[in-house]
Amino acid sequence: VAEPIADPQAPEIGQLIADMIDTLADAAGAGLAAPQVHVPLRLVMFHVPAARVREEDGEAAESCPFTVLINPEIEILNNDTVEDLADDMVDGLEACLSLPGLAGIVPRYNQIHYRGLTPLGETIERRAHGFHARVVQHECDHLDGVLYPMRMRDLSTLSFTSELSRAESEEQKDSEQ
């Protein structure tokens, strides 16, 4: 379990953030957590590009700008009409820089509220749903030593990304015929 960051403005935290930004850019991922670069601190960064959100959540979904979140906290938001939070979970395909070449179907809460600090020490709070909520939950799991396969209900859905790409290509060819 990662340790809280006492001073978000400390020079070593600024350097960590800069290094993580470079790592995330090189990997072309949606998010990264400090433990993924072998630093056991509660820091995550993520972005949700508009094209990816529309692909996952439909036209009405909103993107999320690049965000660095220090000492994040997540609150699950459920539908007021639903008694069981499990009913507010949605299955979705996830991959991770920590498990290259693999992807699996993971249940995540569809709506969350998160808060934390910016690198300037200011509080940031947002509501998130769909893919945005999924990314935040995935990255924050890293802070507690949890990788997405530990959240999977059915490990038979864990696949090689190369096989998923091949199957998608074949499916696309079939639909064009």
Please list the active-site residues. 139
Q: How far apart are CA 59 and CA 21, in angstroms?
A: 28
The residue type of 29 is G
Facing residues of 113 across strands?
Answer: 75, 127
Q: Where are the alpha helices (DSSP H) in 41-160?
A: 50-57, 130-143
Q: How far apart are CA 46 and CA 174, in angstroms?
A: 35
Contact 119, 68 (CB under 8 A): yes
Q: Write down the residue that tokens 């000492």 correspond to.
A: 71
Cα first-last separation, the chain: 51
- CB burial class (10 A; 0-12, 13-18, 19+) of residue 128? buried
* Phi, psi angles (nearest 5°) of residue 150: -70, -20
